[in-house]
Amino acid sequence: MTKTRALGRGLGALLDNHDGDLTSKPLATDPGAAGSISGILISEIEANPFQPRSRFDQEKLDELAASITQLGIIQPLTLRKVRPNKYQIISGERRFRASQLAGLTEVPAYIRVANDQTMLEMALVENIQRDNLDAIEVAISYQRLIDECKLTQEALGERVGKKRSTITNYLRLLKLPPQIQKAIMDRVLTMGHARAIINVDDENEQLLLFKEIIKGGLSVRAAEQATRNAKKDSKPANTDLPLEYQRIRDNVKQQLNAEVSLKVNSKGKGSFSIAFDNEKELKRVLSILDLLP
C-alpha cells in the first residue's frame, strides 16, 4: 500500500500499525529503537517544530493531567529519534504537556524514523483529523501542506480523505479579514457563517455582514439570506427603470443633450452619470449645470 493511501486513512495507517493497539505491545528491551514502544524520559523529549496547533486549552490540559495522574497514559505518544537520547513529538503533544503537569518523568512512546518532510506531513494530517480544531487551524494546515509539501489541492484531498471542494472552502477562509478569522478561531463564528460571508466579494461588505451576524445572533440560514440580499444590492440596477425614474433620466438627457445613465436598486439607492466624448463636451455640460470653475 502506498503512503498516499495510508495518509488518507489516518496516522495509524501511516505508521503501519497493523494491529491498531499500541498499548498491547510490550515496551522495547532496547529503549528508543525504531518501531518499538519504549519508556522515554520527558527530559529527552522536545516539542514538534512543525506542530500546526498554536493554542492549547489550559482547562482541558488540566483535566487530562488529572486523568493521567489517576490512570496513566492510555495511548502512547509517537516520537522520532533525532539524536542519541533526544526525541521530537510527531503526535501527542497534548499528552506530553499534560504529563508534565502531572509530574511524570517518563512516558510510553512509539518510536519511528521520519525525515523533516515526512514529519511535517504526518503532524499536519494527524492534526487535521482531530475533531476539536477550529476552521482556521484546519485551513492553515491545508495551506501548509500545499505550500511546504508541494501538494496540489487534488493530492491534498487524497491524503486527508476530503473532496477538493471541501479543501477549497477551507482555504477561502484565509482570505477573510483578520477580524473575522479571529472570530472563527474564538468560535464566535461557525464555519457555516464564515462560508456565507466569504460569498460576498467586497471586504467592507464582509465586515458589515459579520457585524450583523454577531449583533443579531443570526443563524447560518439567516446569514445566507443576508448574503444574498447584500449581493443583490451590489448588482447594477435593472435596465427597466420605474416610469418615474425613466422620465427623470430622459428629461436630464434632453436638457443636457448628452447620454445619461440612471441606476436604482430595490432600496432606492443608485447612481447618476453623464457621458462625454472629450474635454470640450465636458465643459459644455458643466456650463449648462453652472459648474465651471
In this prediction, what percent of the chain has a pLDDT beyond 90? 13
pLDDT band at 23 (very low <50, low <70, confident <90, very high): very low
Map grid coordinates 525504531 to a residue.
Answer: 34
Judged against a pLDDT cut of 60, whether residue 9 lies above it is answered with: no
Q: What is the CATH number of domain 3-128?
A: 3.90.1530.10
How far is the C-alpha of 84 from the C-alpha of 71, rounded, in Å? 30
By annotation, the residues acting in catalysis are 93
Q: What is the pLDDT of residues 134-176, one digit of tens each?
A: 888 888 888 878 877 778 888 888 888 888 888 998 999 988 9
Mean pLDDT of 215-240: 75
**What are the residue boundaries of the structural domains of the chain, listed by start?**
3-128, 177-235, 243-288
Q: What is the mean pLDDT of the chain?
A: 78
Please name the amino acid found at residue 104.
L
Q: What is the pLDDT of residues 239-277, one digit of tens each?
A: 567 778 887 888 888 777 778 888 888 777 888 888 877
Pick the CATH number of 177-235 from 3.40.50.300, 3.60.20.30, 1.10.10.2830, 1.10.40.30: 1.10.10.2830
CA distances 73 to 26, 69, 88, 109, 127, Å, are 14, 9, 18, 10, 19
